[in-house]
Structure 1
Amino acid sequence: MPLGKDRLLPGLLTAALALAAAFGIHRLVPVLPAMTLAVVLGLLAANLPGTAVWVAGRARPGLDFAGKHLMRGGIVLLGLKVSIMDVLGLGWLALLLIAGVVAASFAGTYVISRLFRLPAQTSLLIATGFSICGASAIGAMAAVRRIRHVDTVLPVALVTLCGTLAIGVLPLLVQPLQLTPLAFGAWTGASVHDVGQVVATAQTAGTAALGIAVVVKLTRVLLLAPVVAAAGLHQRFSAARAAGKAAAAAAPGSLATPEPGRLPPVVPLFVLGFVAMVVLRSSGWLAPGILDAGAALQDILLGAALFGLGSAVRIRTLLHTGSRALLAALAAWLLIALLGLAAALLMTA
């Protein structure tokens, strides 16, 4: 049953106010990404006595709407940041290395999460977010695998935490590792989760580091579509196989062909929208003003979504049930940092 505007409005207005605060703090302290601040403000709103009742009550329908539907709009517009020409400009060796980092970090993070006895769906979302592009990738994977919105909250919190950790830790390692600005930028782009976190980390080493970091990161973002499509195909085949087994078990010996149930889409519509935006950006038809407006709108939609997701996290519950998840996330973060560093050194050698 669709939600009425009167039920959505309190939560959407709350998200808008929080987003204005996040952008304001980011303007004052540029090293703090606005998207990370949106999650942090959501966490605070969910756990401070003065606001917890509000975000769990009247504001909840609108915040849940933001976390799910505005997230999808943000993913579509994320495609406007990706130019295929910029990606190809890295060269085939770099592209193979980046694809290898994504594949190895996805598989490694999934295995680590399962070793820490996390549920398969949670492990899948953590692996997707860590290896590709943070919360946006988690939202896309949750849609294609039909994972409940509430089950995305913990993975988003973990990917935000570890991405924020990278902002503080990676720049401290430039001198000990004797990294050039290009190597540091490539490392940042290959291993940090969210685009905003990549910018905040790489800019500490100058414009050369920032330039290559953004292109490497957006190459990882481009892999969102094929990864989600592969997950969609797997989900579709699994659903069809399960339906066939159920029909066979219900009517043993029957020769009738079972009626197929409604199968999940191979690729959600909003992921196709993401691909369309990548094509548009790469065509060169869009004026810089349109691209800037698209980027600003994408930040607004994604920021509101992240505040909505953050406002669903209860710290007490997270500490009680999420200690294994936190350890798994930190181990995965270390794995991706090492894989990214190796790829960056090879790229810039």
Structure 2
Amino acid sequence: MPPSVVAAPPTAMHRVRQMVPGAVVAVVVSALCVAVTWLAPAAPALLLAILLGAVARGAGWLPPVLEPGLAWTARYVLRAGVVLLGMQLSVGDLTRLGVGELVVLVATVATTFAVTLWLGRVLRVRRALTLLVATGFSICGAAAIAGMSPVADAEEEDVATAVALVTVYGSLAIVALPVLSRVIGLDDRTAGLWAGMSVHEVAQVVAAAGTISAAALTVAIVAKLARVLLLAPLVAGAGVLRRRRHDTVGQRTAPWVPVFVIGFVVAVLLRTVGAVPDPLIDVVKPVTTIALGAAMVALGSQIHLGRLIRTGGRPLVLGALATLVAGGVSLLGLILV
């Protein structure tokens, strides 16, 4: 009998070749979504990207050759996008908000996070998925979900489900918040702050506040960026708690802070001290959008709509309640101050 043949492990170059097709497709689709948004600002690129990924999955348009690259993009390109996002933020952005408004913002983030964790236990939603939903809905959607996913020991399905929930309820907020602002009689500044403090994704905040007015959009972006700055301490705190409880990620101890979150903080500090020149920011902004869009395409491709419908009843309820908490706490606080 001929001796058995043992397959050699794949080389680094072979793994790169496997990832290239899916990664290239994700980037191309993301760039197309950015172009559509440039022509039609009411259609946010990140929302289009994840929707296209989900549609492609549901329609069976994804050949197996794309799978390795899409999985790699969903994990690593998204994290790179988070670091690049930090380069556009400055601690000085917080000075544009009043003390009372900052208190409302922090209270909204803390309340949404804590109540969502409690609701997840009540609804018996998986712990990892609950933590991702709490983080994404209280901070900044998909980028926050990516930041928390290593600490949460989340499976790709949990990440994709959490991002899908952000997409569903953030899209509803784009339509509902401007209408409710007019019904309630909010001035443009208050309406913009409400959008920035309660809507999940940066793109969704831009779409919702931009529908109200340019003044609302300006203050909404400041409030949203202030929420994004809270991502690092929230993820770091969750990592510390998991280590104290001796939780593990796979076979490893849960990290104090994921490496790319440290990169995010460093990028914010570099921007704050003026080490990042404005011409570089003009280049970083579109690169960040395309990177996050590519990751959204990849994450969307991991959303199995049939499975989400069959098993997503409780997560859907959790997302709805988390959205109501964020919107209710922020609105009440803004009215009081």
Please say whether Structure 1 and Structure 2 have the same fold, judged by a TM-score greater than 0.5.
yes
Contact 2:132 2:152 survives alignment (8 Å): no
* 1:296 and 2:303 are equivalent in the alignment: no
* 1:313 and 2:320 are equivalent in the alignment: no
Contact 2:157 2:303 survives alignment (8 Å): no
Q: TM-score, normalised by structure 1?
A: 0.89
Q: Name the aligned partner's letter for residue 155 of structure 1.
A: A
Q: Name the aligned partner's letter for residue 309 of structure 2.
A: L
TM-superposed CA distance for 1:134, in Å, is: 0.3
Contact 1:190 1:344 survives alignment (8 Å): no
Distance change in 2, residues 1:230/1:74 (3 Å): same
* 1:14 and 2:25 are equivalent in the alignment: yes
* 1:150 and 2:161 are equivalent in the alignment: no
* Cα deviation digits, residues 115-141 of structure 1 (max 9, x gap): 222111111110000000101111111
Aligned residue in 2 for 1:83: 90
Equivalenced residues, count = 324
Contact 1:133 1:195 survives alignment (8 Å): yes
Unmatched 5+ stretches in structure 1: 243-260
TM-superposed CA distance for 1:262, in Å, is: 4.8
Contact 2:93 2:225 survives alignment (8 Å): no
Tell me the SS of whatever aligns to 2:253.
coil
* 1:73 and 2:84 are equivalent in the alignment: no
Tell me the SS of whatever aligns to 2:65.
coil
Aligned residue in 1 for 2:15: 4
Aligned residue in 2 for 1:215: 222
Contact 1:76 1:270 survives alignment (8 Å): yes
Aligned residue in 2 for 1:280: 270
> What is the rounded CA distance, in whole Å, between the counterparts of 2:40 and 2:208 in structure 1?
13
> What is the rounded CA distance, in whole Å, between the counterparts of 2:324 and 2:96 in structure 1?
28
Aligned residue in 2 for 1:101: 108
Q: Name the aligned partner's letter for residue 77 of structure 1.
A: L
Unmatched 5+ stretches in structure 2: 1-9
Contact 2:120 2:318 survives alignment (8 Å): yes
Aligned residue in 2 for 1:35: 46
Aligned residue in 1 for 2:3: none
Aligned residue in 1 for 2:193: 186
Tell me the SS of whatever aligns to 1:165.
helix
TM-superposed CA distance for 1:169, in Å, is: 0.9
Contact 1:10 1:59 survives alignment (8 Å): yes
TM-superposed CA distance for 1:73, in Å, is: 0.3
Q: Name the aligned partner's letter for residue 307 of structure 1.
A: V
Aligned residue in 1 for 2:259: 269
Tell me the SS of whatever aligns to 1:133.
coil
Identity %: 39
Q: Name the aligned partner's letter for residue 268 of structure 1.
A: P
Contact 1:184 1:344 survives alignment (8 Å): no
Which contiguous aligned blocks of 4+ residues in structure 1 show a shift greater than 4 angstroms?
Answer: none
Contact 1:22 1:41 survives alignment (8 Å): no
Q: Name the aligned partner's letter for residue 262 of structure 2.
A: L
> What is the rounded CA distance, in whole Å, between the counterparts of 1:18 and 1:168 in structure 2?
25
> What is the rounded CA distance, in whole Å, between the counterparts of 2:175 and 2:334 in structure 1?
19
Contact 1:113 1:329 survives alignment (8 Å): no
Q: TM-score, normalised by structure 2?
A: 0.92
Aligned residue in 2 for 1:249: none
Contact 2:77 2:295 survives alignment (8 Å): yes
Aligned residue in 1 for 2:7: none
> What is the rounded CA distance, in whole Å, between the counterparts of 1:230 and 1:202 in structure 2?
31
Aligned residue in 2 for 1:333: 323
Contact 2:128 2:153 survives alignment (8 Å): no
* 1:200 and 2:211 are equivalent in the alignment: no
Contact 1:74 1:301 survives alignment (8 Å): yes
Contact 2:197 2:227 survives alignment (8 Å): yes
Contact 1:35 1:306 survives alignment (8 Å): yes
> What is the rounded CA distance, in whole Å, between the counterparts of 1:91 and 1:337 in structure 2?
19
Aligned residue in 2 for 1:61: 68
TM-superposed CA distance for 1:111, in Å, is: 1.9
